Amino acid sequence: MKIGIIGLGLMGGSFSYGIKELFPNSEIFGFDISNDNFKIATELGIIDSKLNINNISNFKLILVSIPVDKSIDVLKIVLDNVSDKTLVMDVGSTKKNICSKLKNHPNRKNFLATHPISGTENSGPNAAIKKLYFNITNIICEPELTSPDILNFAYSLFSKFNMKIINMDPASHDEHISYVSHLSHITSFILAKTVIQKEENEKNIFDLAGSGFESTVRLAKSSSKMWAPIFLENKDNVTEALDEYIKNLDELKQLIVKNDKKSIVNDLNNINRVKKILSGINNKKNEK
Amino acid sequence: MKIGIIGLGLMGGSFSYGIKELFPNSEIFGFDISNDNFKIATELGIIDSKLNINNISNFKLILVSIPVDKSIDVLKIVLDNVSDKTLVMDVGSTKKNICSKLKNHPNRKNFLATHPISGTENSGPNAAIKKLYFNITNIICEPELTSPDILNFAYSLFSKFNMKIINMDPASHDEHISYVSHLSHITSFILAKTVIQKEENEKNIFDLAGSGFESTVRLAKSSSKMWAPIFLENKDNVTEALDEYIKNLDELKQLIVKNDKKSIVNDLNNINRVKKILSGINNKKNEK
């Protein structure tokens, strides 16, 4: 089985490791716009050969795992060159724009928009890990626009990865994910920025920061090339989520200024419900 | 060696476990305002007997590990009842107010203000863990006001816990810790609040949230009774840190609105320096 991967970073590289685990005889063709990444991916055995866009008609699957602002153009070129049998997937964190722009492509039936809910704060081929696609939730959009045969292959693949599949329309996906993922990244990036600005002598951060700080700014290590385009692609939802977040911060600030301990305790108690939500996430993971 | 612990939650309970590890023959007397916590702490073996405030004159050490707004009154009562030889410590996350209010106590020389940089998002005696005080940084304030003998005992104890000791004046402590710890808690609490408000049907959070969300809202599980008083005790620093945080959020929002990808990428690249800072924290931990 021939598989193409365009973008050999965390997401693309990890997908290759997963495919090689499930299908040891598959042949992986890869491309990355960075020669360094391509070289590292080759050395790590993430890919077997270089992908040639003019020679993909007999591929079973092509994954596009690049920043979301570049995905649409690349997906169009890929779809221009595939055969009837090739599944083309992206794994980007925004779906509305991509689905809308590909809606009328002659080979739209080859495409499935997916968003595997998995990742780490690290990037590049060296960050790729085998387990990234296993036992996770994968959101898919508009499966009715994918041809039944190709969709069937996609589902069988997801099943081998033991994924939980959720079907969402692209607009709902972008709206919900702006809160659960994009806002988390922004809060973390900006927390790191604020602390770094304050502590010009970074030595103090080393000394005073505990595991709480570390956990809260973990996402601030994420790739700027991946995340700047996500914030822009999902601008309306992200700015709305940001407005609500800032409003809530400001409300807490006013309670602090007014010494309103009772309201703060009430608020934090309500927020503590997140314990139950998080243990739900973990139970879900353990069930798999 | 007789040791008293007032407040048998995460911090007090974990201190007991550490003491029992280092001094198996020590006798631990405890008190908690919650009968439930006292009962659980007794059942878990965190304490051996109930502490009687009128009978502490021959204690070697008394730890006060309760919410910071209650600490000063309790510390005063404890200091009223100790002998020349008893070390009295708190472990609260704010130091300026406590040091100022105890400055003129006749037994000020018995007291050492400490802030062990350690904790988890869990609370209560069931959350206590043996390792909490080992191999950590401990900030101490105004050691020159503690009698040399008692300070000597404190240092020998910290050394047995393999702590790194940092001496800071109380005002600097509260200023720096407001950024590195208190602001992290607020960003996490409010992220959880904003997402919960949005996702009235919490099922969506289960399905869509990944490990990034989980890591960023971990601190939102923290105890309201501990944290509301901390924000209020450190009001000036916390609101200043919040103002800067909100200003930075707003700046990012404006860049998103203006589609200024170049500036966002530049910003995130600068923020990515936090990688080096965090690896510094981890290297420091590994060195110990």
Query: Length of chain B in residues, anyone?
Result: 288
Q: How many CB atoms lie within 10 A of CB A241?
A: 25
The mean pLDDT value for A122-127 works out to: 95
Q: Which tokens sit at A210?
A: 């505990």
Dump pLDDT digits (tens) for B208-267. Answer: 888 889 999 999 999 999 999 999 999 999 999 999 999 999 999 999 999 999 999 999
Mean pLDDT for B6-23 is 98
For chain B, give the percent of residues with pLDDT over 90.
89
Nearest chain A alpha carbon to B255: A232
For A23-61, what is each residue's pLDDT tens digit? Answer: 999 999 999 999 999 999 999 999 999 999 999 999 999
| CA–CA min distance B270, chain A (Å) | 8
Q: How far is B239 from chain A (nearest CA, A)?
A: 6
- Taking the C-alpha atoms of residue A229 and residue B281, their distance in angstroms, rounded to an integer, is 30
Is A184–B191 a contact, with Cβ atoms under 8 angstroms apart? yes
Predicted confidence (pLDDT) at residue A98 exceeds the cutoff of 90: yes
Q: pLDDT, tens digit, for every residue of B62-100?
A: 999 999 999 999 999 999 999 999 999 999 999 999 999
- How many residue contacts between A and B have a Cβ separation below 8 Å? 310
Which domains does chain A possess?
2-169 (3.40.50.720), 172-287 (1.10.3660.10)
- B-chain residues near A206 (CB < 8 A): 277, 280-281, 284
ipTM above 0.85, yes or no: yes
Q: Sort out which chain A residues have CB atoms less than 8 A from B244's CB and list them.
A: 194, 197-198
Candidates B193, B202, B214, B239, partner chain A, best to mutate (most A CBs within 10 A): B193
3-class DSSP assignment, residue A217: coil
Residue B284 clears pLDDT 60, i.e. is over it: no
Query: A244 vs B284: CB contact, 8 Å cut-off?
Result: no
pLDDT category, B288, cuts 50, 70, 90?
very low
Q: Express each pLDDT in B154-170 by its tens digit.
A: 999 999 999 999 999 99
pLDDT at position A281: 61
Question: Which of A117, A209, A222 is nearest residue B180 as measured by Cβ atoms?
Answer: A209
Give the closest of A216, A245, A265 to B228, CB-based. A265
pTM of the shown model: 0.93
pLDDT at A141: 98
Is residue B202 predicted with pLDDT exceeding 80?
no
Please provide the average confidence, as pLDDT, over all residues in chain B: 94
